[in-house]
Amino acid sequence: MLIKSLEYVRAKNIEQLAFKRKMGMVLVIFLTGALLGLLAKYTDGTVLGLIGSGLGFWIAAASLLAAWSRTPKDAGLHVLAFFSAMLSAYYLYSMILFGFFPKSQFIFWGGIALLSPICGYAIWFARGEGWRAAFCAAMPISLLIGESFSFIYILTPFNKGLFCG
């Protein structure tokens, strides 16, 4: 019922891509996720590393990836491939170079990555029309606002909070 009602929000692209081209796109997304995972771990502890350590960058990247996919199923697959590669590269880098593998963190973030196709599927409809599309767009936007509040709080003069006198 819900999926049927979403069909009217944004029409799927009926033009079919060749299987080779689809897999090529998934491979490019996978490699991009792996590269960003390595970069996030490499820059950990630096000023540049602050970008990769917060959820905001990853939410924005996955949202853009999902919204610009051809179909909602492609969006879910692309987001899963991106996060799987990113997490694998991030934790393999830690394990190979530092001999450190935080199993509980990997399981936690791996679980989030396994849920990401559902979010990618929903975010695909954000480029549609109507209140359902607006709701789908509001999900990542609200997460980004929540993530940025702590950043704004830190940047205020004299480390006084934004709403502190």
pLDDT digits (tens, 9 = 90+) for 103-135: 899 999 999 999 999 999 999 988 888 888 888
Planar angle of CA 45, 51, 54, nearest 5 degrees:
90
How far is the first Cα of the chain from the last one, in angstroms, to the nearest whole number?
50
CA–CA distances in Å: residue 87 to residues 61, 95, 100, 108, 114: 14, 12, 14, 11, 11
For residues 163 and 160, give the distance between their C-alpha atoms in angstroms, rounded to a whole number.
8
Contacts of residue 71, Cβ cutoff 8 Å, sequence gap at least 6: 12, 13, 124
The pLDDT, as a whole number, for residue 119 is 93
Q: What is the pTM of this model?
A: 0.79
Domain locations along the chain:
19-159
Q: What is the pLDDT of residues 14-40, one digit of tens each?
A: 667 788 888 999 999 999 999 999 999
